[in-house]
Amino acid sequence: MAEGRKPALRLSGISKAYGRTAALRDLSFEVAEGCFFALFGPSSVGKTTALRTIAGLVRPDRGRLEIGGVEATNAPIAGRGVSMVFQSFALYPHLTVAENFAYPLREQRLGKAVIEARVRETATMLKLGHRLGQKPATLSGGEQQRVALGRSLIQRPRILLLDEPLTNLDAKLRHDMRAEFKRLHRLLGMTVVYATPDELEALAMGEEIAVMRDGTVVQRGTPDELYERPADLYVASKIGSPAINVVEVRLGNGNRLDTPFGPIGLPRPANGASGEAAMLGIRPSDLRASRPGEAGVAARVHLVEPLGDVTIVALESANHMLRLVLSEQQAANLKPGDPFTVAIDPGKIHVFRAHDGQAMR
């Protein structure tokens, strides 16, 4: 959790099963006040169930939930100070934008003047003042998303839950809405828990990220911590684009790794026995072309993928594929079949146990 900030939210040992299917398994994490916190992982790892538990829509089988330091595991939905934006916009199609905004305030029986003032304030903040009289079907996808967001923000929640809110938008709108969410977070300073299967969204938006697998958190940290020091091969493979290169190796004597490309000396030994099966991981951005006269791994170019200012190059060596990232200029004359000598920096290598994927150094 962010240092010096009180926890806005704490989950301790939360478990939830539907029949024989476990949706959450001993799920535990904290979110600091004012933090933009990302729950990241592929489909069916429990992200939505976690958010619905925080919101009070799901009662856990076991565990404890605290909101603002107060036990709230079985507290009523209305008193939690939590609002949730769902993956589907869930707007009322027969109501105008203004009426969609006002609906939750009318449910709270607030006065007409208060409701009108908050609707104007929210519409201005979301740049929807010119759309207040229109119905959702006449709006663009991005505008509909902002209405769904505004309907939650207008309640002034302590914690805002966002469940894969950009899934239904095209790439351009997703980019724009990521910037909009960050702008609103800076403006309002509220605590946000953002569930996403998209690595780019998690890394670009989350101050802290909890990587989920099989209903629990396998590692939590800042984007840099997850990228530089993954706890296991699962996290290493989920964080970073292009994906980390993974090669089967064995631990040699001392600091040596026995690899398909020959022995590689490590700055410090891996925590394992000589001869033990392991997995070498190295980021494509941590590989480079060998300099003249420098030792390296002999390879041939398999595929060249230009991406504008950078190019991803797939190399084949010892029946293994390695991907690296080159500048557009460095890759300008490369073509499939060309020889290429790649330098591997031992200090950038990650080593994981073969049988369970746990980091060994």
Mean pLDDT of 344-358: 94
Three-state secondary-structure class, residue 4: coil
Give the whole-angstrom CA distance, residue 322 versus residue 260.
12
Give the whole-angstrom CA distance, residue 311 versus residue 305.
6
Contact 60, 16 (CB under 8 A): yes
- Domain coordinates of the chain in residue numbers? 7-238, 245-353
What pTM did the predictor assign? Answer: 0.89
pLDDT for the residue 3: 60
Burial class for 281, CB neighbours closer than 10 Å (0-12, 13-18, 19+):
buried
Give the whole-angstrom CA distance, residue 155 versus residue 110.
11
Contact 17, 215 (CB under 8 A): no
Three-state secondary-structure class, residue 289: strand
- The amino acid present at 112, given as its one-letter code, is K
User: Has residue 86 got a pLDDT over 90?
Assistant: no
pLDDT for the residue 142: 85
Cα angle: 250, vertex 253, 255; to 5 degrees:
85
175-186 pLDDT per residue, tens: 888 888 888 898
**pLDDT band for position 220 (cuts 50, 70, 90):** very high
CA 200 to chain centre: 7
pLDDT for the residue 1: 57
* DSSP secondary structure code for residue 88 in this structure: S
User: Has residue 48 got a pLDDT over 60?
Assistant: yes
pLDDT for the residue 2: 55
Low-confidence winner among 28-32, 157-161, 180-184, 325-329 (lowest mean pLDDT): 180-184
Name the CATH superfamily for 7-238.
P-loop containing nucleotide triphosphate hydrolases (3.40.50.300)
Q: What is the dihedral of CA 76, 80, 82, 88, to 10 degrees?
A: 0
Q: How far is CA 111 from CA 83, 102, 108, 118, 217, in A?
A: 21, 11, 9, 11, 43
Mean pLDDT of 227-249: 96
Give the whole-angstrom CA distance, residue 184 versus residue 255.
49
Beta bridge partners of 341: 298
pLDDT for the residue 317: 95
Q: Which of 152-156, 219-223, 251-255 has the highest mean pLDDT?
A: 219-223
**pLDDT band for position 53 (cuts 50, 70, 90):** very high
The sign of the torsion formed by the CA atoms of 146, 149, 154, 160 equals negative
Percent of the chain with pLDDT over 70: 99
For 181, the token pair is 């969410």
Q: Output the CATH code of domain 245-353.
A: 2.40.50.140
Give the whole-angstrom CA distance, residue 251 versus residue 137.
61
266-306 pLDDT per residue, tens: 988 888 888 999 999 999 999 999 998 888 999 999 999 99
Looking at every residue in the chain, the average pLDDT score rounds to 92
What is the DSSP secondary-structure string of 23-47? EEEEEEEEEETT-EEEEE-STTSSH
**pLDDT band for position 23 (cuts 50, 70, 90):** very high
pLDDT for the residue 170: 81
